[in-house]
Amino acid sequence: MTAPLHPDTVAVHSGRSDLQGLGVHALPIDLSTTNPLPDIERGGESYEAMATGGRPPADGSMVYARLWNPTVARFEEALAELEHAEASVAFASGMAAMTAVILAHGAAAGKRHVVAVRPLYGGTDHLLGSGLLGVETTYCEPDEVASSIRPDTGLVVVETPANPTLDIADIAAVVAQAGGVPVVVDNTFATPVLQNPIDLGAAMSLHSATKYLGGHGDVIAGVVACSEQTAEALRRVRAVTGGLLHPLGAYLLHRGLTTLPVRMRAQQESARRIVQWLIDRPEVAEVWYPGLRSKGSYPGLDGDQHGILERQMRGTGAMIAMRMRGGFAAASAVTSATELFTHAVSLGGVDSLIQHPAALTHRPVPPEARPAADVLRLSIGLENADDLIADLARAFAALPADETAGAAPEELHAVR
């Protein structure tokens, strides 16, 4: 039996099993919107199979790109292998993916209640609370999942590390509390390089593939890794609602996977250096980063207070959140003063970004769950870490003196 391949190797070679037969080496792009039908009977059988969530029959047709596309399917195969899942289903955006998950496990399944662990990405939080998809949501802390479950609960939603404050939830513990209720984990910040929720009992691992999976800020997509049975339900929602991923986007994502492990490790190392610098800055009142325990402690698994990181992650990632001592005025000034950090939403690309969650991505979230006005989020890219630190130092130096004054920083807690 062949030994299991290292994830770095899987990232390069997965989803390419049919290339030899096609006689090509580079990933091809199939842009066909419609496909020839062998005959009426087999064409009809093919349509029905895929419209209900299945795969195209071997002797049939792919019929129509809303139902199936080989370029998209290759990316799905590759991501599933990286996530240790039977299958994955790709969508036009991360929100389209989350919408399909809620529909498949909510009202469409006769289960109109969702349990959601906060904090969550603002778009997800808003979607769940809007009632738009016909579900009622109970928001809770990670240790309140069991008490929040009802007979009509169809789904538990958790994001770890969470957006934007990088709270860590114990996935296995959440799954245990959920009992038989499916758990979907938003794995966007960690990626399959650092975390595999399905290995910990989660039913689904969801990504805004726009972020680290693509990695270059040029494609919007979402993807859910899961069992084949769950994939059939998600593909059915995708076929009916039309939330399909364009083949060009799938091509870019598949290509992005090949460098994902290398990018993630390099960005993570820079993030650790920047965190170490930030915790000593008088302008910064608090820093959130996985494993960061107290002022002066080197960020990493050694700061894992509860042992969660060691059990479920293989690293600490490249996202940082910080609270500015000068409040909203200081936070706003810093976003306008950086030069290498682009002031923009999104994350996970090769270039570094800075943004104000409360004013942007988490603006629709109710005030009681919205990040504070003095919080900024950093996505660390592939620039030289010293250059990024110098950029932040210049932005901090431009702050008025009264926006950096105050008592000594409190003890830092990234794992809560």
Q: Annotated catalytic, 66?
A: yes
Structure tokens at 107: 């009202």
Comparison of pLDDT for 389 and 416, the residue scoring more? 389
Residue 300 sits in the same domain as residue 191: no
Dihedral sign from CA coordinates of 344, 347, 352, 355: positive
Residue 50 sits in the same domain as residue 32: yes
The answer to whether residue 415 sits within a structural domain is: no
Rounded mean pLDDT, 90-119: 93
Amino acid residing at 285: A
Q: Annotated catalytic, 186?
A: yes
Rounded Cα distance between 342 and 225, Å, is 31
Q: What is the pLDDT of residue 95?
A: 97
CATH of the domain at 287: 3.90.1150.10
pLDDT confidence tier of residue 304, bands split at 50, 70 and 90: low
Residue 142 has pLDDT above 90, yes or no: yes
Structure tokens at 97: 């993916």
**Domain tally, the chain:** 2
Q: What is the pLDDT of residue 295?
A: 41
CATH of the domain at 80: 3.40.640.10
Rounded Cα distance between 374 and 332, Å, is 8
Q: What is the pLDDT of residue 368?
A: 78
How far, in whole angstroms, is CA 15 from its chain's centroid?
20
Place of tokens 């570094």: 352
pLDDT confidence tier of residue 316, bands split at 50, 70 and 90: very high
Q: Annotated catalytic, 152?
A: no
Rounded Cα distance between 221 and 206, Å, is 11
Rounded Cα distance between 212 and 364, Å, is 24
pLDDT confidence tier of residue 257, bands split at 50, 70 and 90: very high
Rounded mean pLDDT, 117-140: 95
How far, in whole angstroms, is CA 94 from its chain's centroid?
8
Residue 296 has pLDDT above 50, yes or no: no
pLDDT confidence tier of residue 415, bands split at 50, 70 and 90: very low
Residue 176 sits in the same domain as residue 195: yes
The answer to whether residue 70 sits within a structural domain is: yes
The answer to whether residue 273 sits within a structural domain is: yes
* Mean pLDDT value across the chain: 91
Residue 197 sits in the same domain as residue 286: no
Domain final position from 225, 258, 291: 258
Structure tokens at 301: 């698994």
pLDDT confidence tier of residue 272, bands split at 50, 70 and 90: very high
The answer to whether residue 414 sits within a structural domain is: no
pLDDT confidence tier of residue 297, bands split at 50, 70 and 90: very low
Rounded mean pLDDT, 384-395: 98
Residue 88 sits in the same domain as residue 189: yes
Percent of the chain with pLDDT over 90: 85
Rounded Cα distance between 380 and 378, Å, is 6
H-type alpha helices, 225-289: 228-241, 247-278
Domain final position from 230, 258, 286: 258
Give the active site residue among 8, 16, 30, 66. Answer: 66
Q: Return the H-helix or E-strand segment holding 176.
A: helix 171-178
DSSP 8-state symbol, 315: S
Decide if 151 contacts 390 (C-beta within 8 A): no
Q: What is the pLDDT of residue 394?
A: 97
Amino acid residing at 260: L
Residue 33 sits in the same domain as residue 149: yes
Decide if 140 contacts 117 (C-beta within 8 A): yes
Q: What is the pLDDT of residue 409?
A: 36
Residue 179 has pLDDT above 70, yes or no: yes
Residue 69 has pLDDT above 70, yes or no: yes
Residue 212 sits in the same domain as residue 358: no
Q: Give the tens place of pLDDT for each residue, 336-362.
A: 999 999 999 999 999 999 999 988 777
Residue 221 sits in the same domain as residue 293: no
Percent of the chain with pLDDT over 70: 92
Pairing status of strand 353-355 against strand 284-288 = unpaired
Q: What is the pLDDT of residue 135?
A: 95
Residue 317 sits in the same domain as residue 335: yes
Q: What is the pLDDT of residue 365?
A: 76
Give the active site residue among 47, 64, 121, 212. Answer: 121
Beta-carbon contacts of 46 under 8 Å, excluding residues fewer than 6 positions away, are 37, 56, 57, 60, 61, 62, 63
Place of tokens 């990405």: 121
Q: Which of 69-83, 207-221, 243-257, 360-374 is predicted least confidently?
A: 360-374
Residue 275 sits in the same domain as residue 209: no
Residue 234 has pLDDT above 70, yes or no: yes
The answer to whether residue 408 sits within a structural domain is: no
Domain final position from 258, 292, 307: 258
DSSP letters, 317-374, are -SEEEEEETTHHHHHHHHHHH-SSSEE-S---SSS-EEE-GGGTTTTTS-GGGSPPTT
Place of tokens 């986007």: 249
Q: Return the H-helix or E-strand segment holding 9.
A: helix 7-13
Structure tokens at 17: 């099993």
The answer to whether residue 296 sits within a structural domain is: yes
Comparison of pLDDT for 159 and 293, the residue scoring more? 159
The answer to whether residue 360 sits within a structural domain is: yes
Domain that holds residue 339: 261-403
- Left (φ > 0), alpha (ψ -120 to 50) or beta: where does 404 sit? alpha
Residue 203 sits in the same domain as residue 329: no
Rounded mean pLDDT, 141-169: 96
Residue 248 sits in the same domain as residue 307: no
Give the active site residue among 55, 74, 111, 211. Answer: 211
The answer to whether residue 413 sits within a structural domain is: no
Residue 414 has pLDDT above 60, yes or no: no
Give the active site residue among 125, 186, 304, 391. Answer: 186
Q: What is the pLDDT of residue 405?
A: 46
Rounded mean pLDDT, 97-120: 92
Q: What is the pLDDT of residue 363?
A: 77
